[in-house]
Amino acid sequence: MLQLFTFLLEKFSLLFNFKLFGSSWSDGEDRKGHAPRAPPQPLRRGDLLEVPRTLFTHFGIYLGDNKVAHLIPDILPVLTLDRKLIGSVITNKRLIFGVIYRCATVRVDTLEDFAYGSNILVNPMDKIMKDQALANEDVAKRAEKHIGATPYSLLWYNCEHFVTDCRYGCAASLQTDKFCKCLKSIIRDQRCVAVTGLLGIVSIICYGMAPSTTLPTILIPFTLWMAG
């Protein structure tokens, strides 16, 4: 039992220490008082900007004149065509419903609003990506072409996919890769078989012997055992 508890604690800590991907904006009143932290070097049009947040890292493309293009989940483009309303500050409710509905918008905001008081890293992925960065002007133009409503996927097309597609010509997300590796390590851990089997037995005891409880109790541990 102690081993089972240790296993659960270990896996939950892995997930909570992992930075989620995407973007999160607070309501307008929560954004006050966050002074922007300028990058160490002057920004150039087409630079890839990265800002760490509490649970994730957010990305954008610098367009010059203190403007940044970035992808963020937003439900409002589905509900209205009013550009003024869509251009207003994205609240948490708009963001959450955008994630659920899988709808986002590539919008242009000021550097201060984009950074939200965080340190700005400039072109940090140039040393990581295998593909060379495109010319800065081409990067900016590619970002500007995407401005407006766009499909969204937390795993397969988020803000990091957007900027890597603009700057390197191929959409990729290191945060997604990290999450998938973490999930794979959990699935392949044979202790998952014991955990799911135990939960299945508990469900049978609580809800009785039925196909809805018996089949998952057998199939899920068996699938995890085969995957490991």
**Tens-place pLDDT, residues 171-190:** 999 888 888 888 878 777 77
Q: Under CATH, which number does the domain 22-172 receive? A: 3.90.1720.10
Out of 80-84, 96-100, 150-154, which region has the weakest mean confidence (pLDDT)?
80-84
Q: Which of 159, 180, 182, 206 is catalytic?
A: 159
Separation CA 220–CA 209 (nearest Å):
16
Catalytic annotation on 206?
no
Q: What residue type is assigned to position 212 of the chain?
A: S
Q: What is the pTM of this model?
A: 0.70
CA distances from 218 to 179, 192, 197 (A): 27, 13, 7
**Tens-place pLDDT, residues 21-76:** 443 333 444 444 455 555 657 899 999 999 987 778 999 999 999 999 999 999 98
Q: What residue type is assigned to position 114 of the chain?
A: F
Separation CA 205–CA 74 (nearest Å):
43
Strands of the sheet with 67-73, listed across from one edge: 121-122, 48-52, 57-64, 67-73, 103-110, 148-151
Going from N- to C-terminal start, the domains of the chain cover 2-11+181-227, 22-172
Q: What residue type is assigned to position 220 of the chain?
A: I
